[in-house]
Structure 1
Amino acid sequence: KVVWDRLQRRPEAEELHFASIRGGKIPGTHVLAFDSDADTIELSHVVRSRATFALGALQAA
């Protein structure tokens, strides 16, 4: 079972929980995190300029 949005409880064992949160002043930091009681694994992508997004949009058009 996939659950999204912020939870006010711990996810159940059979649930895969994900959330997307926008915040901060950095133009584009994206983090994919797998979290457990034992450890956290993170993969991150940091954009230094919003021009990157504009260039990608132009190339896709």
Structure 2
Amino acid sequence: MHAKQGDQIVIETQTLDALRRHGEVIEVIGQGEREHYRIRWQDGHESIYFPGPAARVVSAD
């Protein structure tokens, strides 16, 4: 997975009672397989995120 600043990260859930999470990429950290992101989530908090198999990128373009 590769994202750039301004893209949206969407995390699909595997359980029926959990909500889909999404946030904006505000910083790309690392390169290649070690790439991870600083995300501003929909509730306003920020965190460092290492993407897993449930994540997808929605391009800002």
TM band (smaller chain): under 0.3
Please give the TM-score of this superposition, normalised by the length of structure 1: 0.25
Please give the TM-score of this superposition, normalised by the length of structure 2: 0.25
Which structure would you say has the larger Rg? Answer: 1
Relative to its length, the structure with more helix (as a share) is 1
Higher relative CO (Cα under 8 Å, sequence separation at least 6) belongs to: 2
Relative to its length, the structure with more strand (as a share) is 2
